[in-house]
Amino acid sequence: MLDKHWFGNKGLLFKNEYLNIKKYIFMIYAFDTYYQNGQAKTVCAGFQNWEDEHLAVTYEQTDIISSDYESGSFYKRELPCILQLLKNIALHKNDLIIVDGYVLLSDEGKLGLGGYLYDELESNIPVVGVAKNLFAGINKNMRAVTRGKSKKPLYVTALGIDLDMVSEKIKNMHGEFRIPTLLKKVDLLTRK
């Protein structure tokens, strides 16, 4: 588990306060990992507003791949990379995390990468998953979000925050293409 001091000593706001009052969001952190030559490069980029065009801060780390890819158990490979990088980030009680992938993998609540991260954070920090490919078996706990002129949606899942509200935030992020500008920047940074 992560150190409790990362969340401050005042605890989280009540859910309705967090969802309805924009000024309480301190930082949005987007994570992505790229795998090449036996290594995993993880990048975390922070920004303060959903509509931002530019990143406020970036962190990166390269690790040796600890696990092979396993469909439906992607978290085994990527979660250790994210947790390692999180050791360098002082999370605030009102931050939010976006992962490249799913938070939930089923309508019955099977956890994906973001769900396992949410558990590691002791359910203190909302986690949003933005996936490019549809994972069969999830309907009510996922929203298909179409952006710009693209006919192919992004698939949004979440824990700790209202799914409909955050799906609308993802839809309205900066950029005219399917992938929001800042999420595309994070992806590109992993490949440098």
Contacts of residue 149, Cβ cutoff 8 Å, sequence gap at least 6:
176, 177
The verdict on residue 1 lying in a domain is no
Query: Is 177 a domain residue?
Result: yes
Query: Does residue 102 form part of some domain?
Result: yes
Among 5-14, 61-70, 85-94, 109-118, the range scoring the smallest mean pLDDT is: 5-14
Asked if the structure places residue 150 within a domain, the reply is yes
**CATH code for position 50:** 3.30.2170.10
Residue 147, domain member (yes or no): yes
State the Cα–Cα distance between residues 163 and 165, nearest whole angstrom.
Answer: 6
For residue 11, being part of any structural domain is answered with no
DSSP 111: B
What is the tally of structural domains in the chain?
Answer: 1
Domain that holds residue 124: 17-190
pTM recorded for the entire structure: 0.84
Specify the pLDDT at position 96: 97
What's the average model confidence in pLDDT over 66-77?
71
Per residue in 83-92, pLDDT tens?
A: 999 999 999 8
